[in-house]
Chains A and B, each alone.
Chain A
Amino acid sequence: MSHKSAIATVAFLVAVLLYPLCFPDSYHLGVGISAGAMAVSTVGVVLLLGLAHQLAIGQAAFSMIGGYANAILCVRYGWDPFVAMVAGALLAMLLAYAIAPPLLKLRGFVLAMATLALHLMLIVVAVQVDFTGGPMGVTGIPKFAVFGLPLSDDRSFFWFIWLLVFVAVWVGLRIDHSAIGRALRAIAASEQAAGSVGIDITRHKVQMFVIGGGMASISGSLLVHYLRATDPTVFGFGYSINLITGTIIGGLTSIWGGALGAAIIIFLRELLRELELPLWESVIMGALTVLVLIAFPRGIAGFVSRIYDRVVGGDAPQRVVVTEPGAVALPTVSDPPTLVLDGVSRSFGSLRAVSGVGFTVPAGSITALIGPNGAGKTTLFGLISGHLRLDAGVVRFDGLEIQTLQPRDVARLGIGRTFQNLQLFDNMTVLQNVMCGHHRFGGAGAEQTARDALAFVGLQGAENHDPASLPFGHQRLVEIARALALRPRMLMMDEPASGLNDAETERLSELIVRVAALGVTVLLVEHDMRLVMGLADHVVVMDHGEKIAEGAPEPVRSDPGVIAAYLGQEIPARAA
């Protein structure tokens, strides 16, 4: 546990223990209870919205399920409130699990609208159906009790609720600091890159949707036991907005921030009521949302954390100390794999981007796929890595057909890749970026593997940097290190030299040679003939979507067809 977490935990426990002693009257206890009920669900919002950037704005739908399940089970069937709460949570999680896979394929605003629509549909049901009490709702809900043991006074209910908040925070922190937390941030930053290191995007989104739904449901249950009644307006659009506003104010990227934000929202609302300005609630909540997003996108928790770093020193990044690479030995690959393409084709509309291409990447070789701009190299690359689907043909990796696999499954076979346009996770440090590469092996050992990979590419000392603060050439190295943390048996690099100066290109080609020396089969896409000719032992040339030559570098270089493709075009300046 970090210092910050320890301090936050102590502050939390002290506040929760002292609050009922300092404010023993039922009004203040009630405010604290409402805040706690909301805090249980804002933790879920942090996981879904703050970490994974999934804009599910209808979380109140799940609170509504929990609230109504408790109201109906306790009032009509005499269930124990605690048991009803658990049942409500299970019901919400089951619903979330059922609808999540298709729903979470939707992105951005469409996901937002879909979750909102779900919430609005539930409101209609609550109003229209007699079973839920119609517009009047359900009254006479008992006070909360655990297995028949009633929490009769508000003080014990307060402590019980905040105990649940603590549990929710603990669960949230465990997720945040695990490989799943890194995977969620990776998904938020770039789904393409997340897939390339073997992260199962849908699975992790669904997990968070289900957990968030459960937390929202528990929060709804607790609220109705405090209010002793519920009706369709309790969990309206405003409730969802308050959840999101609270999370934003507290700090989108911090679990503690979620809990803090809920408390702030509730206390603010009560303050406005006391000042007899209840009509202002909407304006102030909306304005706060906008202002915090503009000025402090990481909310109060992010702000406090930054102040702490400044005062105590924190983990301020040291200067990049680029050691001579090679100080560490990465594990070697004993049986280098072969990649075989046969008759691979892909069209975009009437454009045949790749047409009947077949070649072999020999085991342990450095194979270069070259050709002029628009030859179809990057498309072919995407077809192998699983980011594009082919129309016809077969791709075999060590005899296994992989052309129908998703990118994550291609990665899990041990095929690492880098991107032509860098796809680093800009919401994580360099070290965490590289640790994501280790995802297919789980959390244990990720840090050591990542440190080794960084040392191997020559970026020791850059661990705590923000990747965007590094020079461009170093960012390319981070991406290579991330792919190496996958312990690849094959490494695919898409134009790794683009944007590099001569010295950096030189270092890159040394690095590629060292990677190949580990027994890793390397497939390189380049249009820079100079880099390729010095490096590759096998060259495949493409032009206009077709393979025009294949073989050792020297004969390929003097092949008339290749020369025509590179030189014999209208623009002579294109000669490489």
Chain B
Amino acid sequence: MTDALDLVAVADLAVGYGGAPVLSDVDFAVQAGQRVAVLGPNGGGKTTLFRTLLGELRPVAGTLRRPGRLAVVPQTERSRLDFPVSALDVALMGTLTSLPWWRRPGRADRTRARQALAEVGLAEHADRTFGALSGGQRQRVLVARALVQAAPVLLLDEPYVGLDAPSVELLDRLLGRLAAEGRALLVATHDVEQARRWDRVLCLNRRQIAYGAPDAVLTRPVLEATYGAEIVEVTGDRWVLPAHHHDHG
């Protein structure tokens, strides 16, 4: 059952890479202004879901409704830090979605990219080499690139990995502001406690385990079905995951 206000609506979705589906029974909807934590083990289907939302993978079953433009914020460690690009160069890459291949970004595009860097608090660092920035700053540059794309839906792939506490706080505030401005954010993460503070939680483990408000979803049975019976209980109803779930396979 989808709503006209849904920016993303997925029903009975199954996706594969040519063989049997690697992700199935996915059924959720996201509205403007919502922050959705996408939880799941490595190989559980988070990346597959994002690639499907981006249109890179075609569903083998089910339906998918999404806006024409989605922006993705990848992990900074997947970028080449030795590449000779400035923060502004990276932000300008967000214009590529709307420019024909033979056109270079114009003055208006550069202004838009600088504004996006200012929005993420990096106006002063526009001309610095991307690889010379801190991990948190690099992550915010990639968010700025997504803002330049002017997409109503942002997909963020484990944006908090490797960040120190002040950078996590900065990024948290930034994402909260972007959601308040009406964007929908889907954030792949392993941080159960962080997911608890957001609007919705989607748990995947080769199929959808649960979707809904954090209090309803983040229960021991759901987390065990998502991650296996390896959940480490810290206190009462609070859990953290074993360290290997944070590794990238």
The answer to whether A and B interact is no
> Which residues on A are within 8 Å of B, measured CB to CB?
none
> Which residues on B are within 8 Å of A, measured CB to CB?
none
